[in-house]
Structure 1
Amino acid sequence: MESVAFRRLEALLARGDDGYSLAEGALTVALEEYPDLEIPAWLARLDAMGRELQQELPADLGVEDALMALNSFLFERYGFHGNSQDYYDPRNSFIHEVLQRRVGIPITLSIVYIEVGRRIGLPLEGISFPGHFLVGCPLSGGKVVVDAYASGTVLDREDLESRLAGLYGQRVLERIDVTDLLEAATKRDILARLLRNLKVIYLQRQDLPRALSAIQRLLLIQPDAHLELRDRGLVYAQLECFRGALDDLNRYLAQAPEASDADQIRARVVDLQARVSGYN
């Protein structure tokens, strides 16, 4: 049965990307864990932060100076910082917790950065860079790329290539133009990445009901994400929901018959068929 939070997210997505703010989307994701969350109150807090900063800025401030002011405001005055000590604390993935505790991970700190920055007129956008979410600010001559997890550090091409090589190796880097990875992410993409982080955290903790909830919402956002379909099937199997598991894994194999784990999943399907038959 779908939860109230699931239906709220479904209604939000139905508005389209222009029908809600990134912060509202992230707060709606948090409703599953915090059903009494007052979304308007947290949006008002972001509004207040934006007004506080805006009142201090001269009217003719350029983009680069505005970015410096935003960095000082968030990371010096308010003390936002990356949670390197407990990176996988689920609270780091909930925007209201990040606003309250002033600590988070790259994607949630980026959302705060984008939302406050937009309130002072900066055209900020999220960048789903591999391994580490970033913020982009388009300029007439290109794009400034900022790491909100590193207190607003500006990254140049060499920095980005170094990060990519660290993830995939130099050979992969030689085949990829790093600028191709700097496209603005849609709100749906950002919410999906936020939920994917939660899914991984909950799976690591063997918190299967919460992992399942994250996957259900991921599939709401990205219905064609066959890897999420596979993962839901595997979670269903662990929860002994064998029919649901069988349906999902069969659909996964139909969508990705040549997947690297296809043989392994086929073996799970045979086992699940036996279990389902045993209940008939």
Structure 2
Amino acid sequence: MVIESLSGVCCHQQMTCSSFNRPVFRSGADEKFKNLTHFTVSVTHRKRRLSLSPMAAAAPVKTSGSSSPKFYQEVVTAARANFTQEISFQLKDKDISLAKTLLHISAEDEAFAAFNREMDANSFQKEREGGKLSSDVQDLSQRESILLAGKKLEDWLSELDVIAKEVEVELISRDIGCHLIEVLEAVNKVLFDSMGFKRSNIVDSKCSYLHTVLSSKSGSAILLSIIYIEVCRRLNLTIVGSRVGEDFLIWPQTGNHEELFKVTSGHSLFGIVNGRCVEDPKSKASDLNSSSLLGLDIATNRDIIGIYLANLIRLHWKRASRMNRGLMLTSPLRPVHDDKTDGSSIPLLRPQDLRLAIMASEKLLILQPHNWALRRDHGMMLYFTREYGEAVQELSICMAFAPEEEAEILEPFVEKLHLLRLESSWKSLGHKGRMTVP
């Protein structure tokens, strides 16, 4: 299962949304969202439901008219608060639900994407009709709840329960006991044969969110690993995993690893669970055996969520920078000594994809607040959105934790960002031209 992670960025322990078009998440989640267990907004008036389509859909399902920006903002805020609560460091790692956490991530990103799709549709209609359309026709109180592709969080979790039940039926039909290998064979048959789950070689949004993968049966390697872990957990079978090179591999927690590497019908159980990367001679995974498996560092639930978020950052950054082939987050740091770092030289990136990458990096920083490389990348993404003040703040914090040689590279860049921030403020007051700084 190929998984490529960024040397990402992130920040504060708890974050909530302060502005939807430019989400900046502050410490301290709003009180009314702390006890949410799914993406529900209470109402006191008429009850209507808005069903958000999957990320790949062209537009959200609406009730009538336009949706309130406040509604989407509160959905984003609720999903972020739920995510923060789900991975709280007050919880033991074993008590963290991978499925719930990833569904909260899906809810936040889907609400953001749906908001932008609706604003685009609204603008198009406005141009066609030549009239002024309100973006706040419907009141939030008219909505009972927001659904993720037509289902509540509990319904998506039930999808995993159904898969586990199918495995139990498969075991009963074979009239066998619950030997580890037999259970794994049953899981493999149900997931990959009966239900048709498969690893997608195409990296896109549809294959990168848990609810869309459960629906389409096609997903990224890390998501299929998480589904495998969650199904086996429901069968009281512990599946562990570890990063090996660019791959993330999973296997059952057992003292007899030899059985996993026995080849039957051309494939080992370890290979069926982990996909073709195990058989690829170019992969480090192909060198593993029952002995070397014992020497791997087992990933915690928080580690797995971190790997998933790093992949999500990579996905959205790649989409955001698709018109600037080869552009890396740290590219602007290289020519900084050439004195060409100014607002006009920043490449134009796709704003919605860039914002989704920033949202993922914010969540990753909740998990890894002291990772200086993650914070550097987060600051650089803020620079690309021309949010110079926030970029200066993140990069300045990064410099305090970064190795000396990295801090020396960042220092002149941060000084230039200070000037860009002053110039931006100067222009916002109506002044023309460049500001001269002695």
Scaled to the shorter chain, the TM-score interval is 0.7 to 0.9
Task: Write the letter of the residue equivalent to 2:398.
Answer: Y
SS of equivalent to 1:74: helix
Cα distance between partner residues in 1 of 2:358 and 2:169 = 44
2:86 alignment counterpart: 12
Structure 2 counterpart SS, 1:135: strand
Equivalence for 2:382: 236
In structure 2, C-alpha distance between the alignment counterparts of 1:59 and 1:21, rounded to whole Å: 30
> Counterpart in 2 of 1:51?
165
Query: Equivalents in 1 of 2:200, 2:368: separation in Å?
Result: 28
Is 2:253 the partner of 1:107?
no
Structure with higher RCO (Cα < 8 A, 6+ apart): 2
Distance 1:205 1:76, change over 3 A: same
Pairing 1:215–2:335 present: no
CA–CA distance in structure 1, aligned partners of residues 182 and 304 of structure 2? 27
Task: Name the structure 2 match of 1:72.
Answer: 189
Alpha-carbon distance in 2 for matches of 1:117, 1:64: 12
Shift of 1:155: 9.2
How high is the sequence identity, in percent, across the aligned residues? 28
Cα distance in 2 for residues equivalent to 1:78 and 1:214 = 30
Q: C-alpha deviations, 1:186-208, integer Å up to 9, x for none?
A: 11111111111110111111121
Instruction: Indicate the residue corresponding to 1:270 in structure 2.
Output: 415
The size of the alignment, in residue pairs, is: 268
Give the TM-score normalised by the residue count of structure 2: 0.55
User: CA separation in 2, counterparts of 1:230 and 1:161?
Assistant: 35
Shift of 1:102: 0.5
Shift in alpha-carbon separation, 1:72–1:40, aligned structure 2, 3 A: same
Per the alignment, residue 24 of structure 1 pairs with 100
Write out aligned runs for 1:75-154 (5 A): 75-84=192-201, 86=202, 88-142=203-257, 144=260, 151-152=272-273
Give 2:158's aligned amino acid.
A
**Distance in 2 between residues matched to 1:148 and 1:44, nearest whole Å:** 27
Decide whether aligned partners of structure 1 residues 108 and 165 sit closer, same or farther in structure 2, where only a CA change above 3 A counts: closer
CA RMSD of aligned residues (A): 3.2
Distance of 2:308 and 2:153 partners within structure 1 = 17
**Equivalent position of 1:163 in the other structure:** 283
Partner residue in 1 for 2:371: 225
Deviation at 1:111, TM superposition (A): 0.8
SS in 2 for 1:139: coil
Given that residues 81 and 151 in structure 1 are in contact (C-alpha distance below 8 angstroms), is that contact kept between their aligned partners in structure 2?
Answer: no
User: Any conservation in 2 of the 1:135–1:147 contact (CA below 8 Å)?
Assistant: no
Structure 2 equivalent of residue 193 of structure 1: 307
Cα distance in structure 1, aligned partners of 2:96 and 2:274? 28
Match of 1:40 in 2: 154
Tell me by how many angstroms 1:153 deviates.
Answer: 5.1
AA aligned to 1:196 is A
Whole-Å Cα distance in 2 between the matches of residues 63 and 25 of structure 1? Answer: 28
CA distance in 1, matches of 2:224, 2:370: 28
The residue identity in structure 2 corresponding to 1:44 is: S
Is the alpha carbon distance of 1:74 and 1:256 closer, same or farther for their aligned partners in structure 2, counting shifts above 3 Å? same
- The amino acid across from 1:152 in the alignment is V
Deviation at 1:184, TM superposition (A): 2.3
Q: Return the letter of the residue paired with 2:273.
A: G
Give the superposition deviation at 1:110. 0.5
Deviates more, 1:146-155 or 1:240-249: 146-155
Shift of 1:223: 1.0
SS in structure 2 of the partner of residue 110 of structure 1: helix
Corresponding position of 2:401: 255
**In structure 2, C-alpha distance between the alignment counterparts of 1:150 and 1:262, rounded to whole Å:** 43
| TM superposition shift of 1:149 | 11
Contact 1:110 1:149 in 2 (8 A): no
Rate the CA distance shift 1:204–1:263 in 2: closer, same or farther, 3 A: farther
- Structure 1 residues 277 and 190 mapped into 2: Cα distance closer, same or farther (>3 Å)? same
Cα distance, 1:10 vs structure 2: 0.8
Q: For 2:102, what is the secondary structure of its paired residue? A: helix
- Runs of 5+ consecutive residues of structure 2 not aligned to the other structure: 1-17, 19-24, 26-76, 112-146, 262-266, 321-352, 427-438
Q: Do 1:30 and 1:95's aligned partners in 2 also have CA atoms closer than 8 Å?
A: yes
Runs of 4+ aligned residues of structure 1 deviating over 6 Å after TM superposition are 145-150
User: What is the CA-CA distance between 1:136 and the residue it aligns to?
Assistant: 1.8
Give the secondary structure class of the aligned counterpart of 1:71.
Answer: helix
